[in-house]
């Protein structure tokens, strides 16, 4: 599935294309060519919604050919695990972006209050 540059008005048509594609195929994963998409929040919203729609239809969604800016935007929004890139570890391109995680607390211990001593 190839996506052209999107506006909010184009998102419902992308859903219709996804439903038609999944309905005529027995594939487990839809690969979405996103090479021509801008790295903006409309694109991020559309991709996240398409991923959710694909899951509801019983298949996964992988991205093919995102720009470095789009990969960075996905990482910034915390979606690089939700929207995986096909062939993710390509030479010369960005690797996975680490996600900061809070240290685990033990049950029954109170978290220290910042700002109070």
What phi and psi values does residue 86 have, to the nearest 5 degrees? -65, 135
| Tens-binned pLDDT, residue by residue, of the chain (117 aa) | 777 788 888 888 888 888 888 888 887 888 889 988 888 999 999 999 899 989 988 888 899 999 999 999 999 998 888 888 887 544 344 444 444 455 555 556 555 556 554
70 assigned to some structural domain? yes
- The tokens of 61 are what? 């969604």
Please give the residue range of the domain that contains residue 72. 8-76
What phi and psi values does residue 87 have, to the nearest 5 degrees? 60, 50
Q: Into how many domains does the chain fold?
A: 1
Quick check: helix, strand or coil at residue 29?
strand
85 assigned to some structural domain? no
Instruction: Give kind and range of the element (H or E) at residue 49.
Output: helix 41-56
98 assigned to some structural domain? no
């Amino acid at each position: 599935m190839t996506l052209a540059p999107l506006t909010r008005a184009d998102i419902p048509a992308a859903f219709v294309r996804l439903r038609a594609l999944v309905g005529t195929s027995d594939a487990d994963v839809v690969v979405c060519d996103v090479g021509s998409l801008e790295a903006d929040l409309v694109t991020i919203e559309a991709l996240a919604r398409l991923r959710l729609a694909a899951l509801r239809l019983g298949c996964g969604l992988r991205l093919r050919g995102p720009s470095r800016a789009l990969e960075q935007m996905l990482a910034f929004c915390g979606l690089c695990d939700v929207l995986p890139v096909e062939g993710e570890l390509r030479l010369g391109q960005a690797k996975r972006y680490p996600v900061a995680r809070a240290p685990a607390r033990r049950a029954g211990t109170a978290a220290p209050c910042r700002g109070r001593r």
